[in-house]
């Protein structure tokens, strides 16, 4: 098995040179690893992505701003191009944005060599600290190029009692391999809504990591809409380490021909009376593939906690495929937990009902596919609009 850090020509930035030995020991991930099961990771040609990204053009930034504007006005905007901070709103009270060297620092997770590699190869860590209430913060991250590797590391820290909504638009064009790392730290009684919008070229490859940690009575709502992608993988690790911490994750995805989405969730309840609720829903067409595997762990410290995870997929063609494997690891009694998953075609009774109302067969199927995301909540309305538009686009393209 090849070493990611030794056999490839990626160069460590100066801040990581003291960790060269760790980088050389990192092996390529394989589908044999549990956290990569069902994935096409063995098909990735790592040697291909050796070039550097080009500067993002104005048209792509304009596209990002257009998506950002659908959520309303923002109080501040942060832009990161090719993993480097190029714009931060330093004039906003209580907001600090800076790119730090993070000399010698890296993250480690068993069987996730790419996480460590990403923190070593990122040009720095973009630190966003919010210490006063902020209505809405916009983040635009972008990468473009041909056969290019892109490494980015972003950390959001929210002070106690602060409320914040973040709109993060991630833009990829060309044959770029992007390894984005996002950390969210919510301190006591903070309330964060993080809305992540992925706009990726079909030629792009994104292998991302989201890690969050919540203090006592802190809450995090993490919403994401994935509508255009080549192969996109997101692993989310969350720790509820403070009493009555709450996490809600809602993800909607539309997968067309030759596209694959891959979600892995690992949520740990490590304090009393914590709550998590995960909902992943997707429409898969053509020969597209969706993958979801999840693990909720409630430790002996998690007495009185509640945890729920749901994954639902509707398949619009015979070639569409969805893997769905939710799991629970409950180490204490006096908790409430559940998991559910469904994979299948559009409900025949619903099709019959629409046919009785005069809907042509194809229009009925399309209408039900568009309505699949309707139960994800009123605050998911903008994401639902993007997902419905993606259903229409892929339908008309025959994908």
Q: What is the pLDDT of residues 196-218, one digit of tens each?
A: 998 888 889 999 999 999 999 99
Among 140, 131, 130, which Cα is nearest to 87's? 140
Structure tokens at 191: 């309330």
**In contact, 263 and 232? CB cutoff 8 Å:** no
CA distance 253 to 394: 12
Of the pLDDT bands very low, low, confident and very high (cuts 50, 70, 90), residue 6 is: low
Where in the chain does DSSP place strands (E)? Answer: 76-81, 84-87, 95-100, 125-130, 134-158, 163-186, 191-200, 205-214, 219-228, 231-240, 246-255, 260-269, 275-284, 289-298, 306-315, 321-330, 336-344
Predicted local confidence at residue 379, as pLDDT:
87
- The overall average pLDDT reported for the chain is 92
Structure tokens at 60: 């792509």
Mean pLDDT of all residues in 7-25: 84
DSSP designation for 62: H
Q: What is the pLDDT of residues 115-163, one digit of tens each?
A: 999 999 999 999 999 999 899 999 999 999 999 999 999 999 999 999 9
**In contact, 90 and 97? CB cutoff 8 Å:** yes
CA distance 381 to 306: 26
Token pair 């998506």 is found at 67
């Amino acid at each position: 098995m090849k070493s990611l850090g030794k056999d490839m020509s990626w160069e460590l930035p100066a801040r990581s040179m003291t960790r060269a030995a760790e980088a050389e020991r990192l092996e390529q991930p394989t589908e044999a690893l549990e956290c990569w099961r069902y994935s096409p990771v063995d098909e990735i040609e790592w040697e291909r992505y050796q070039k550097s990204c080009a500067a993002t053009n104005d048209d792509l930034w304009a596209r990002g701003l257009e998506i950002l504007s659908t959520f309303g006005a923002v109080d501040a905007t942060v832009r990161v191009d090719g993993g480097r901070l190029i714009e931060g709103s330093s004039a906003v009270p209580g907001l600090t944005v800076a790119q730090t060297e993070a000399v010698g620092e890296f993250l480690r997770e068993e069987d996730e060599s790419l996480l460590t590699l990403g923190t070593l190869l990122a040009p720095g860590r973009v630190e966003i600290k919010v210490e006063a209430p902020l209505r809405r913060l916009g983040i635009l991250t972008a990468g473009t190029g041909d056969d290019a590797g892109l490494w980015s590391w972003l950390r959001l820290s929210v002070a106690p009692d602060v409320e914040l909504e973040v709109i993060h638009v991630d833009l990829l064009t060309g044959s770029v391999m992007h390894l984005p790392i996002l950390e969210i730290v919510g301190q006591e009684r903070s309330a964060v809504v993080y809305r992540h919008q992925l706009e990726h070229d079909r030629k792009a490859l994104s292998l991302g990591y989201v890690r969050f940690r919540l203090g006592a009575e802190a809450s995090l709502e993490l919403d994401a809409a994935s509508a255009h992608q080549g192969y996109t993988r997101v692993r989310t690790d969350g720790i509820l380490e403070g009493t009555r911490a709450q996490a809600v994750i809602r993800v909607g995805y539309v997968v067309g021909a030759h596209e694959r989405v891959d979600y892995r969730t690992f949520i740990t309840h490590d304090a009393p009376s914590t709550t998590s609720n995960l909902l992943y829903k997707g429409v898969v067409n053509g020969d597209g593939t969706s993958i979801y595997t999840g693990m909720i762990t409630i430790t002996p410290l998690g007495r009185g906690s509640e945890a729920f995870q749901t994954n639902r997929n509707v398949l619009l063609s015979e070639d569409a495929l969805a893997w769905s494997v939710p799991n629970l690891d409950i180490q204490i009694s006096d908790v409430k937990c559940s998991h559910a998953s469904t994979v299948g075609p559009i409900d025949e009774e619903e099709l019959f009902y629409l046919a009785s109302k005069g809907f042509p067969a194809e229009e009925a199927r399309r209408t039900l596919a568009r309505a699949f995301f309707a139960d994800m909540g009123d605050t998911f309305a903008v994401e639902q609009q993007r997902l419905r538009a993606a259903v229409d686009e892929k339908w008309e393209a025959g994908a």
